[in-house]
């Protein structure tokens, strides 16, 4: 088994399963964690599945570790503002990374096809 996390530490994980009141997260370190609905927000959450979605990446705090079973519980709610700011990863996209050439090539064709369809319907 992979090394378990320490209580109080923050880790970045990906949501891999969502249920009615909890989600399972997978962490790069090789362990999984349970994120219960009560550890997501201080506000009422009407629909957990619409708040937490599969594939979402969150920075969470480890709140409990059962060494014997390897079960880990994590929390979004218990993250401090400074921990949230530190964990935020921003990957800027520069103008050099955006290529509109395929769109510029295809747009006139799509417009022509759309106009042909309208002319056919109006006859």
Q: Residue 83: give its domain's CATH number.
A: 2.40.50.140
Q: Quick one: pLDDT at residue 90?
A: 47
Is 66 within the bounds of a domain? yes
Q: Rounded to whole angstroms, how far apart are CA atoms 35 and 6?
A: 16
The alpha-helical segments, DSSP class H, found in 1-123 are: 48-51, 81-87, 101-122
Q: Quick one: pLDDT at residue 100?
A: 73
**Between these two residues, 64 and 103, which has the higher pLDDT value?**
64
* Domain encompassing residue 52: 10-96
Is 86 within the bounds of a domain? yes
Does residue 122 have a pLDDT over 50?
yes
**Between these two residues, 33 and 41, which has the higher pLDDT value?**
33
Is 73 within the bounds of a domain? yes
Does residue 24 have a pLDDT over 60?
yes
Q: Quick one: pLDDT at residue 23?
A: 95
* Tens-place pLDDT, residues 80-96: 887 776 655 544 555 56
Other Cβ atoms closer than 10 A to 36? 15
Residue with tokens 């990957």: 91
State the total domains in the chain.
Answer: 1
């Amino acid at each position: 088994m992979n090394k378990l996390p320490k209580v109080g530490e923050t880790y970045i994980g990906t949501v891999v399963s969502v249920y009615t009141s909890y989600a399972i997260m997978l962490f790069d370190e090789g362990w999984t964690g349970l994120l219960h609905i009560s550890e997501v927000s201080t506000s009422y959450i009407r629909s957990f599945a619409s708040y937490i979605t599969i594939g979402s990446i969150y920075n969470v705090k480890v709140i409990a570790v059962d060494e014997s079973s390897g079960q880990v519980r994590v929390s979004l709610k218990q993250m401090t503002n400074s921990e949230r700011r530190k964990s935020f990863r921003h990957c800027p996209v520069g103008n050099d990374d955006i290529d509109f050439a395929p769109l510029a090539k295809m747009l006139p064709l799509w417009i022509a096809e759309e106009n042909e369809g309208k002319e056919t319907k109006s006859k």
